């Protein structure tokens, strides 16, 4: 039995008090649940310390949404991996399509971010996924393969053990257009095969591959029931404690049925 991971990416949402209310509501909802599922909440950087404070008394992990590719110094506005670690952050999203598209992050920069996170004992959640054009052209697998190889495959076995992957087709993010379970399964199995070829069968099995893109309380069970879908990276639906906890419950159901 492999348990699931449900991660919430809040993106640029919530004021301080809204963030506090949501964190407390999630903590209260999961308080009495004997969870197999690992929960990771990724609020905006400003609220990370509050989140790790609340997490200390609860059973969720805290992740950042971004990190600087440099160690320290004159990088106005950036937040370093050491800073994240100093407020007990355990995970960090890297390579989200919004950062690739709006902030022009390249594979080369993303590889540096992965390295600096690992050097600071923070687990990267690496996002990959194709655009609608790539999907329609039929070259989506090549795009995903390039993203993964360019950014992750320089890692040693010991380093790669700390990587979580999120498959997030860009056409499904925030659009209400979810990948079908078959589409998700096809890509997840493909990613697992790539890992197997590079790092072996055991690593391929052990690596968590999450699905993200309009995953919600209604479709989570079908998606998480796919053999190679190890959970979800949730955007919009992670902004409601009730919806988020329903998604966690879907993950629990899948683990128990496994």
Asked if 31 is an active-site residue, the reply is no
Burial class of residue 147 in the structure, from the number of CB atoms within 10 Å of its CB (0-12 exposed, 13-18 middle, 19+ buried): buried
* Calpha distance 150→106 (Å, rounded): 10
Interface of this chain with ligand 13P, residues 142 to 171, rule: CB under 6 A = 168
Decide: is 220 part of the binding site for ligand 13P (CB under 6 A): no
Contact 36, 3 (CB under 8 A): yes
Residues touching ligand 13P, count (CB under 6 A): 14
- From the CB of 232, what's the least distance to ligand 13P, in Å? 8
> What backbone torsions phi and psi does residue 137 show, to the nearest 5 degrees?
-75, -15
The tokens describing 47, both together, are 């609220």
Binder to ligand 13P among 108, 136, 174, 242 (CB under 6 A)? Answer: 174
Asked if 154 is an active-site residue, the reply is no
Please identify, among the stretches 115-123, 182-190, 193-201, 210-218, the one whose residues bind ligand 13P according to the rule CB under 6 A.
Answer: 210-218
Q: E strands along the chain, which residues? A: 5-9, 38-42, 61-64, 91-94, 123-128, 164-167, 209-211, 231-234
Interface of this chain with ligand 13P, residues 63 to 102, rule: CB under 6 A = 96
In this complex, which beta carbon is closest to ligand 13P, that of residue 110 or of residue 199?
110
Decide: is 128 part of the binding site for ligand 13P (CB under 6 A): no
Interface of this chain with ligand 13P, residues 95 to 114, rule: CB under 6 A = 96
Catalytic residue among 98, 130, 168, 252: 168
Decide: is 212 part of the binding site for ligand 13P (CB under 6 A): yes
3-class secondary structure, 57: coil
Residue 165, beta-bridge partner list: 126, 209
Per CB under 6 A, residues contacting ligand 13P are 9, 96, 168, 173-174, 212-215, 233-237
- Give the catalytic positions in this structure: 96, 168
């Amino acid at each position: 039995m492999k348990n699931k991971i449900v991660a919430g990416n809040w993106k640029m949402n919530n004021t301080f008090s809204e963030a506090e209310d949501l964190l407390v509501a999630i903590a209260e909802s999961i308080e009495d649940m004997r969870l197999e599922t690992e929960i990771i909440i990724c609020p905006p950087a400003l609220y990370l310390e509050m989140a790790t404070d609340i997490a200390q008394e609860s059973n969720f992990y805290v992740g950042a949404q971004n990190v600087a590719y440099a160690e320290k110094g004159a990088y106005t506005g950036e937040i370093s991996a050491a800073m994240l670690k100093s407020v007990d952050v355990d995970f960090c999203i890297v390579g989200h399509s919004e950062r690739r598209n709006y902030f022009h992050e390249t594979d080369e920069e993303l590889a540096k971010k992965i390295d600096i996170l690992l050097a600071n004992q923070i687990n990267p959640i690496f996002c990959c996924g194709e655009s609608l054009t790539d999907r329609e052209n039929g070259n989506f697998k090549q795009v995903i393969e390039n993203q993964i190889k360019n950014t992750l495959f320089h890692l040693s076995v010991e380093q790669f053990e700390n990587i979580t992957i999120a498959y997030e087709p860009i056409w499904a993010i925030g659009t209400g257009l979810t990948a079908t379970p078959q589409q998700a399964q096809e890509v997840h199995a493909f990613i697992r095969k790539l890992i197997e070829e590079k790092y072996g069968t055991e690593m391929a099995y052990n690596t968590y591959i999450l699905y993200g893109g309009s995953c919600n309380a209604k479709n989570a069970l079908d998606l998480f029931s796919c053999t190679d879908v190890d959970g979800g990276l949730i955007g919009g639906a992670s902004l409601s404690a009730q919806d988020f906890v329903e998604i966690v419950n879907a993950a629990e159901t899948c683990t128990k049925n496994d």
